[in-house]
Structure 1
């Protein structure tokens, strides 16, 4: 029986820069970080509903390439925020690369508003916001 979502793993070019981005700017919490015998680094970042595992090879890594349409693969990582507009403005001010400004979500049954940015390695990050539930009277 499935218990929960555990983690997704990805490769980054620079561990320090990735931790600064995901923890410092997005608000994930560093759960574990260690250096391997070959000089590579690994870290687990707690996103509240699962972990993000980031792996930095000792020799670095090339910039991410978007998955072309019609090709299987992961398209983006989505993080839920209370306010997409405020989060987007803060990240843009911090110099984060913008892909798409905040807009109403196409999947309005699930999300209210979304925006897309890129992490330091070019990986697409979706900022998402849900509609606040209306109080019952």
Structure 2
């Protein structure tokens, strides 16, 4: 028996610069429903969007929030072009929404038609580069990446096969920090 009965993600809370712009993007561009709004005592806001299966994506807006720090607190805006996917410890690198595999191409075209810059379809695979040129037997996820108005790196990800096979999917030992640098 497990210690906790975790049933998925209740919500993920991010921070935006402009709540009106965020609501517009997530409702009008991505088609999510706004399901809860909260006014915070400091004048800020906390809004929730339905992302399906009882899960939500939430945003805080703080009147005195610090400026964004791409490459530190989030992925760099040019991450896919440069190959530098690094972000700081404790940061959120990107947010992946689960979508049906057969819809990836259609969703990419819809985003482009709405003026969103989107990557080509990437086939994450068990190959040295991590990406296969085409969907094949090594592919485990096919996806596209794009940014929201605040530079939050988003992904539409579709599982090609179920993950968790110890022979195929669990092949690496977790890295351990060797020394602490101050």
TM range (shorter): 0.7 to 0.9
Higher strand fraction: Structure 1 or Structure 2?
A: 1
1:130 aligned residue: 159
Contact 1:64 1:122 survives alignment (8 Å) = no
Match of 1:86 among 106, 119, 129: 106
Q: Following the alignment from structure 2 to structure 1, what is the Cα–Cα distance between the partners of residues 94 and 21?
A: 19
Partner of 2:5: 2
- Equivalent of residue 146 in structure 2, options 117, 129, 133: 117
TM-score (norm 1): 0.78
Runs in 1 of length 4+ with deviation above 4 angstroms? none
Among 55, 63, 68, which residue is 1:58 paired with? 63
- Check whether the contact 2:96–2:154 (CA below 8 A) recurs between aligned residues: yes
Encode CA deviations 1:8-64: one digit per residue, 9 max, x unaligned.
Answer: 111001111112212222232211013223321110112114211101112566345
Unaligned runs of 5+ in 2: 76-84, 127-138, 163-182
Q: Which runs of 5+ in 1 are unaligned?
A: none
User: What RMSD, in angstroms, separates the aligned Cα atoms of the two structures?
Assistant: 2.5
Kindly tell me the number of residue pairs found equivalent between the two proteins. Answer: 130
2:95 is equivalent to residue 77 of structure 1: yes
- Measured in 2, the distance between the counterparts of 1:102 and 1:36 equals 39
Larger relative contact order (CA 8 Å, sep ≥ 6): 1
Determine helix, strand or coil for the equivalent of 2:27: helix
Which is worse superposed, 75-84 or 120-129?
75-84
Q: Distance between the aligned counterparts of 1:23 and 1:70, measured in 2?
A: 28
Question: Residue 64 and residue 117 in structure 1: after superposition, are their counterparts in 2 closer, same or farther (change >3 A)?
Answer: farther
Preserved contact between residue 34 and residue 41 of structure 1 (Cα < 8 Å):
yes
Q: Is the 8 A contact 1:12 1:61 kept in 2?
A: no
